[in-house]
Amino acid sequence: MKNKLIKILFVLVVIILAWLFLNNLNNENQELISKNIVVNKGENAKDIAFKLKQERIINDPHFFLFLVFLEKDWNKLQAGEYLLNSEMSNQEIINALVQGKTIKETVTIIEGWNTWDIAQYLESKGLFSQEEAIKSIQEFKPNQFDFLNDKPKNLGLEGYIFPDTYFLEKNATLEDFLNRALENFGQKLTPDLRDEIKKQNKSIFEIVTMASLLEKEIISFEDKQIVSGILWKRLKAGIPLQVDATLLYPLEDNSPYNTYKHLGLPLGPICNPGLESIKAAIYPQNSPYWYYLSKPNKETVFSKTLEEHNLAKAKYLK
């Protein structure tokens, strides 16, 4: 009797293994079908299995459910929109659903972009209107980021939307995107950088504002450090910064961002700087220079005196 039971169990195991193998081949002999499959919140494994069968992504929903049962993934299948195809094995599909490998929207923010650049870009991708993007950047006030504590309450998030590539869910909101960008900023501004800012008795807001000027004015990191030293030195001496880029933010002659008409740093950042510019603002390079200009080829020319600077302007900015 015992031997008979063993034989029966052996046959069952062979049948199950064969079933697993054959079903895991999925739709090998069928045409390739690729579809966006939406898994809604509240749908269980059974709902998902029969949806995949209906869309011809899998052959056997019962086999799909059996694998989910074996892996104990009943409550791990995540909602979202997935790009799935009939050549994927059942296990590959389950892994994608468990890991939340949903279709993502790629958003790339370029170093030096300001609020209006970002808003135009988001609208061009069909994600959000330019108007709502500008409004969110100017008015969204998250309270979980300590690096925003010294930012004036009346100013928006200009300067803190860290330039990088972000992968957003299809249904992501503007606030989702801004939170991701701010989280990234917080990670890039490491404890060592924050400690150095404190040692210099400067605020993060001042550093970000300075970094935004460097981002718009200078190309190389080395030159940014020298220009950073010049601008901090001019601030300390009570000399106007006279940064050309501030004249364009916004296009108002008497704007508080105009560093020709107003002493000190501008009202706030004029763009969103990258990490190099932030580091250059934190670690300025001392030099004998008080003036600088950018040649048409973007090369930086430094001068010790106003006379030298005027000669350089006459030579390179004809």
Question: Does a structural domain hold residue 13?
Answer: no
Please calculate the CA angle 257-262-267 and round it to the nearest 5 degrees: 35
Same domain, yes or no, for 222 and 176? no
Please answer whether residues 118 and 161 qualify as being in contact, where contact means their C-beta atoms are separated by less than 8 angstroms.
Answer: yes
Indicate if 145 and 131 belong to the same structural domain.
yes
As a whole-number percent, the residues of the chain with pLDDT over 70 amount to: 89
The tokens describing 243, both together, are 């940064």
- Do 37 and 49 fall into the same domain? yes
Q: Check whether residue 306 and residue 213 sit in a common domain.
A: yes
Same domain, 141 and 95: no
Is residue 55 a part of any domain in this protein? yes
Domain-located, residue 209? yes
Q: Is the pLDDT of residue 261 over 70?
A: yes
> Burial letters for 195-230: b for 16+ Cβ neighbours within 10 Å, e otherwise?
eebeeeebebbbbbbbbbbbbbbbeeeebbbbbbbb
Condensed to tens digits (0 to 9), the pLDDT of residues 208-250 reads 999 999 999 999 999 999 999 999 999 999 999 999 999 988 7
Please provide the average confidence, as pLDDT, over all residues in the chain. Answer: 90
Confidence of residue 80 (pLDDT cuts 50, 70, 90): confident
Q: Look at residue 3 and tell me if it is in a domain.
A: no
pLDDT at 27: 47
56 vs 73: which has the higher pLDDT: 56
Number of structural domains found in the chain: 3
Summarised one tens digit per residue, pLDDT across range 142-191 is: 999 999 999 999 999 999 999 999 988 878 899 999 999 999 999 999 99
Mean pLDDT across 295-314: 94
Note down the domain range covering 148: 105-188
Query: Which domain-ending residue is among 188, 208, 223?
Result: 188
| 7 located within any domain | no
- Is 145 found in the same domain as 246? no
Structural domain contains residue 246: yes
Structure token pair of residue 302: 């430094």
